[in-house]
Amino acid sequence: MDNNFKKEDFKNVIKLLKTKNPILTQSKNVKLFEKKWSSWLGVKYSTFVNSGSSANFLSILALKQFCGPGEIIVPPLTWVSDISSVILNGFKPIFVDINPRTLSMSSDEIIKKITKNTKAVFMSHIQGFNGLSSELINILKKKKIHLIEDVCESHGAKFNGKKLGSYGLMSNFSFYYAHHMSTIEGGMISTNDKNIYEITRSLRSHGLAREISSKKTKNSIYKKFPELNNEFIFLYPGFNMRNNEIGALIGLNQIKSLDKNIKIRSKNFSFFLKNINSQIYRNDFELTGSSNYAFPLILNKPSFKNRDKLELLMKKNKIEFRRGNAGGGNQLLQPYLKKYIKKKDIASFKNTNHIHNFGYYIGNYPSLKFTKIQKICNILNSIKI
C-alpha cells in the first residue's frame, strides 16, 4: 500500500479530539459505522472489533456457544488466525487444498472432506477471489453445516452478483492498513442472525450481558441473576476486543470511497494480467466477481533456481513483494501445526505447496498508475529462464 489514509479521514477525528471531554472508547460512532457497513455489505448486523484476527476468533467462539465439539474445514493457504481460532476454541482443523485459479479452498475437495463430524467450513476468500460455488452452498445447506467466510482480503468481491460475506452464518473483515480500506487496526463480524449478533456483541466486551442490544433479553437475564450487579453479569468467557471512536470515524469516511477504490484496483489488476508474460507467470485466474487488493505473481513452472532469480530481480529494482501469498504460504509447514498433520501428508497439498514456494504478491492500490504497472511488468518479464 502506498497510502491508505487521506487528510479527510482525520478531519472528524481532530474535531472529536477538540471537543470538551471527548468519548474515545466504543460509543455512537462505532454504532454508526456498524450500521453503515451492514448496509454496504447487505446484511442485518455487524460488530466492530479491534482486528480481523479478533473477528476470526470471536466468530469461532460464538459458534462454540451453540455448537458441540467437532471438525471445521479450513484452508492451508490463509492467515494464521483462521486456523488458530479453530484450534484454540477446541475444534479440530481439517485441511483442504486450494483451487489454483482462485487461491481459495477447492469446493470439490471440501465436499470430499465433509463427514458426520463436520460442524463448519471456514472459507477464506484469498486476495479478492471468490471461493464459493453453488454446489458447495447447496450441500452445506442440505447437511446443515455452517459456513463462515473470511473476507479480510476481499472487500466487495461477489458470487452470483451478491457480495461475499453475506452468504455465511458469519463473515469476517479486516481493516488493516494494506487492505481495501483501513481503520488503522480493526475488523468486523457480520451476520443476518440476531442471536449470533448478540453473542458477538457480548463476547467482544468481556462477555458482558449489558452489551446485548435487546432490552427484553437483557431484562430477562437480569431477573435470572438477581444476586449479581446488572452491570457485571458475564454470560460468556469473553475478552476486550472492542474498537474505538477514532477507528470508527476513519471507517465512516473511508467507506464513502470504498466502491470507487475497488473499481480502480480491479482495473489495475486487469492491466497487470494483460501485460504480464503468461509463458512465465500464471494469468488464468477466475476473475468473475473478484475484488483484488494485490497482484498475485506465480511462476508457472516449479524451479528454485528461477525463483531465486526472480527475487533477486525484484529486490534489485525495489519491487516490494511477499512470498507465499496469503499468510506466508502453506500454514501446514508452520511449527504450531506440527501435531495436527504428519510431515509426509503435506506433500499431498500440491497446489498450496506450489504457491508456498513459487508464489508472491505485490502491491495494488488506488493511487497506482498504469505507467508504473507497465514498468513493473516490463521488469518482471525481463527475467531470463
**pLDDT of res. 2:** 80
The arrangement of strands across the sheet holding 294-298 comes to: 294-298, 359-363, 322-323
In CATH, the architecture of 258-381 is Alpha-Beta Complex (3.90)
pLDDT for 101 equals 97
What does pTM read for this prediction?
Answer: 0.96
Length of the chain: 385
Q: What is the pLDDT of residues 64-114, one digit of tens each?
A: 999 989 999 999 999 999 999 999 999 999 999 999 999 999 999 999 999
State the Cα–Cα distance between residues 334 and 93, nearest whole angstrom: 14
Nearest CA to 190 out of 162, 211, 155, 165 is that of 165
The whole-number pLDDT of residue 293 equals 87
The helix/strand/coil state of 217 is helix
Compute the distance between CA of residue 16 and CA of residue 4 in angstroms, rounded to an integer: 21
**Which sequence spans correspond to the domains of the chain?**
7-256, 258-381
* CATH, domain 7-256, list 3.90.79.10, 3.40.190.10, 1.10.3470.10, 3.40.640.10: 3.40.640.10
Rounded mean pLDDT of 241-263? 97
